[in-house]
Amino acid sequence: MNGYRRVLIKLSGEALAGTLQRGFDHLIITDVVKQLKILVENKVEVSVVIGGGNFWRGRTSGSMDRTKADQIGMLATVMNAIYVADVCRAEGIPSVVQTPFQIGSMTELFSKDAALAHMQAGKIVFFAGGTGHPFFSTDTGAALRGCEIEADALLFAKNIDGVYDSDPKQNPEAKKYTQISCQELLRQNLKAIDAAAATLCIEQKLPIVVFDLGATDGIVRVAKGEHIGTTISI
Ligand code: UDP
């Protein structure tokens, strides 16, 4: 398969919940996992970061201590990774969940070397728990792990089909970019990815593709290099 050799796929928690908005839409997740399986069968090294928005929106919890809210958010990402990893097992794909902190025997501690060895052995590696620190997002966790494992690209599967110059839900005239530089994204303060993640990607020259999780075979097509969504170049 032409395209990327090693990818990090970021799935937003909300996109995995589908119209339910909370928890898991099993049909969506099974479809995602079947696509991941195609990538693995085509010798693409696959890692995955999943957000936590289908369980917890810590930053909107009013007066709650931010650090505690973020800790719950990070644990939500672990639950998501364990769920999707189990769907991988059911679909016959071996996988591993790594976290930046210890959670007994439920996950492995993050290690670049171990992650690469797993991926090279055809396993999908889920990087759960974000960066392990509050005041960051799973976007930043994805950018960090993507840099560490020297991914060819970050593939961001979202509830929206790309990067727009304004929110298409608010503005029917909003214009979609097929390509935009990471610097321009920051300059225009577009919210497609957060600034910490964007800065890391610029520094490490890591391209990002933002696309719709709902697009038919979207993950496979983007990994093959097909131009859907928005490419954020560096
Ligand atoms: N989070 C965190 N540190 C990290 C990554 C995530 O504190 O390194 C928290 C984040 O604040 C949020 C939650 O984990 O409350 C889930 O992440 P996010 O909102 O990015 O998920 P998504 O919107 O992609 O579903």
Interface ipTM: 0.95
How would residue 215 be classed by pLDDT, with cut points 50, 70 and 90? very high
Query: How far is the centre of ligand 1, averaged over its atoms, from the C-alpha of 13 (Å)?
Result: 9
Segment 157-186 mean pLDDT: 95
0.90 surpassed by pTM:
yes
Per-residue confidence (pLDDT) for residue 34, from 0 to 100: 98
Cβ of 131 closer than 6 Å to ligand 1, yes or no, is: yes
Contacts of 207 (CB under 8 A, 6+ apart): 152, 153, 154, 201, 231, 232, 233, 234
Query: How far is the centre of ligand 1, averaged over its atoms, from the C-alpha of 218 (Å)?
Result: 24
2 pLDDT more than 90: no
Ligand 1 atom closest to the CA of 132, numbered from 1:
8
% of the chain surpassing 70 pLDDT: 98
Contact criterion met (CB below 8 Å) for 128 and 76: no
Per-residue confidence (pLDDT) for residue 69, from 0 to 100: 93
Q: What is the mean pLDDT of the chain?
A: 95
Cβ of 13 closer than 6 Å to ligand 1, yes or no, is: yes
Segment 164-189 mean pLDDT: 95
Cβ of 52 closer than 6 Å to ligand 1, yes or no, is: yes
CATH class of the domain comprising 6-233: alpha beta
Segment 27-34 mean pLDDT: 97
Per-residue confidence (pLDDT) for residue 203, from 0 to 100: 96
Per-residue confidence (pLDDT) for residue 121, from 0 to 100: 98
6 pLDDT more than 90: yes
Annotated domain spans of the chain: 6-233
**CA proximity to 202, closest of 176, 168, 227, 232:** 232
How would residue 61 be classed by pLDDT, with cut points 50, 70 and 90? low
pLDDT, one tens digit per residue, over 74-130 is: 999 999 999 999 999 999 999 999 999 999 999 999 999 999 999 999 999 999 999
Per-residue confidence (pLDDT) for residue 118, from 0 to 100: 98
Ligand 1 atom closest to the CA of 131, numbered from 1:
8
**What's the chain look like in SS3?**
CCCCCEEEEEECHHHHHHHHCCCCCHHHHHHHHHHHHHHHHCCCEEEEEECCCCCCCHHHCCCCCHHHHHHHHHHHHHHHHHHHHHHHHHCCCCEEEEECCCECECCEECCHHHHHHHHHCCCEEEECCCCCCCCCCHHHHHHHHHHHCCCCEEEEEECCCCEECCCCCCCCCCCEECEEEHHHHHHCCCCCCCHHHHHHHHHHCCCEEEEECCCCCHHHHHHCCCCCCEEEEC
Query: How far is the centre of ligand 1, averaged over its atoms, from the C-alpha of 214 (Å)?
Result: 21
**CA proximity to 218, closest of 13, 2, 39:** 39
